């Protein structure tokens, strides 16, 4: 009787191992797996447009200063703190970070960067860098999200409840913005001297409520660089790069998932940061 019993135990064990192997691998506790599909968020700019996304991974939090420092060796942020999101980074800085972090972790860099060739698709008169950056499709390294990926994740993916902000219809629950990012809650109209004297600044990630996927601060805190040019979706040329989510200086409107912000890609503001994305490969 012992031999049949042993064979049964082995079979059960093999079934359990097979079942586990079919689950999505856990890459990094800082990343969240996002199941792909069509847009369920009725407030998204992409809802009803027939856009379908594959699975992908996205940062649970905005890239922190500690993460930036570990890869880039310097910290450009105006408001210093290891757990605070890195800010005062340009779009080009974010692109370089993605490649450097990929190399550090043994992944294939997603971007090819030519600093000596002026990007023919960049129509800006104010961008003093104009590096030519091209994407290497199929590479498993880190990259910036597309606008569609950002909105899909911020809106909760397949679990979306169609909230106005990422995770809630109440901005106070999920976002750091100009009214609540300082010593006291501010009322009245937006006023920079008052905001500055209130010691307003970015906050550590994860202090507000997460959205449906367990992602934090996709509304408020720092504006997040995306890959896209600002303009028509998937435009191949432009003068400005897209930012999403609003920031600690911005108002309620800019914290809405559908809001589309823009900056010169070479600009570095103290409310400009980003989060990373990776393809959902098995590596």
Please give the Cα distance from 99 to 114 (Å, whole number): 13
pLDDT tens, position by position, 125-155: 999 999 999 999 999 999 999 999 999 999 9
User: Is the confidence at residue 265, as pLDDT, over 50?
Assistant: yes
Return the pLDDT at 15.
38
Span 228-238, average pLDDT: 91
User: Is the confidence at residue 10, as pLDDT, over 60?
Assistant: no
Span 235-254, average pLDDT: 97
CATH number of the domain that residue 192 is part of = 3.90.1580.10
pLDDT band at 17 (very low <50, low <70, confident <90, very high): very low
In a domain, 82, yes or no: yes
In a domain, 15, yes or no: no
Return the pLDDT at 38.
98
In a domain, 140, yes or no: yes
Please give the Cα distance from 97 to 153 (Å, whole number): 21
In a domain, 23, yes or no: no
In a domain, 70, yes or no: yes
Alpha-carbon torsion (91, 228, 204, 214), positive or negative = negative
In a domain, 177, yes or no: yes
pLDDT band at 234 (very low <50, low <70, confident <90, very high): confident
Residue 104 CB partners (closer than 8 Å, separation 6+): 70, 71
User: Is the confidence at residue 58, as pLDDT, over 60?
Assistant: yes
Count of structural domains, the chain: 1
In a domain, 38, yes or no: yes
Task: Kindly report the average pLDDT of the chain as a whole number.
Answer: 91
In a domain, 141, yes or no: yes
Q: 80-87 long-range contacts, Cβ below 8 Å, gap at least 24?
A: 81/204, 83/204, 83/205, 84/201, 84/202, 84/203, 84/204, 85/61, 85/202, 85/205, 85/217, 85/221, 85/222, 85/273, 86/62, 86/273, 87/202, 87/222, 87/269, 87/270, 87/271, 87/272, 87/273
pTM for the full predicted model: 0.90
Span 42-61, average pLDDT: 97
Which structural domain range is residue 96 located in?
29-279
Q: Which two tokens stand for residue 232?
A: 């028509």
pLDDT tens, position by position, 161-218: 999 999 999 999 999 999 999 999 999 999 999 999 999 999 999 999 999 999 999 9
User: Is the confidence at residue 12, as pLDDT, over 80?
Assistant: no
pLDDT tens, position by position, 76-125: 999 999 999 999 999 999 999 999 999 999 999 999 999 999 999 999 99
């Amino acid at each position: 009787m012992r031999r049949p019993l042993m064979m049964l135990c082995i079979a059960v064990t093999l079934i359990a191992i097979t079942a586990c192997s079919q689950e999505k691998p856990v890459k990094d506790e800082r990343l969240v797996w996002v199941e792909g599909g069509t847009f369920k968020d009725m407030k998204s700019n992409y809802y009803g447009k027939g856009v379908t996304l594959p699975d992908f991974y996205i940062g649970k939090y905005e890239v922190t200063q500690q993460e930036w420092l570990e890869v880039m060796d310097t910290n450009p942020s105006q408001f210093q703190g290891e757990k605070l999101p890195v800010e005062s980074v340009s779009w080009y800085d974010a692109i370089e970070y993605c490649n450097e972090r990929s190399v550090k972790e043994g992944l294939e860099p997603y971007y090819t960067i030519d600093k000596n060739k002026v990007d023919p698709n960049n129509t800006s008169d104010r961008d003093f860098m104009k590096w030519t950056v091209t994407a290497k499709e199929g590479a498993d390294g880190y990259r910036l999200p597309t606008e569609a990926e950002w909105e899909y994740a911020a809106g909760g993916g397949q679990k979306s409840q169609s909230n106005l902000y990422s995770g809630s219809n109440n901005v106070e629950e999920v976002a750091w913005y100009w009214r609540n990012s300082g010593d006291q809650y501010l009322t009245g109209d937006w006023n920079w001297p008052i905001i500055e004297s209130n010691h307003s600044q970015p906050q550590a990630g994860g202090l507000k409520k997460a959205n449906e996927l367990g992602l934090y601060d996709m509304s408020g805190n720092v504006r997040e660089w995306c890959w896209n040019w600002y303009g028509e979706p998937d435009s191949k040329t432009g003068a400005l790069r897209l930012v999403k989510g609003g920031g600690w200086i911005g108002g309620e409107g800019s914290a809405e998932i559908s809001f589309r912000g823009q900056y010169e890609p070479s600009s570095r503001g103290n409310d400009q940061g980003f989060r990373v994305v990776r393809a959902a490969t098995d590596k």
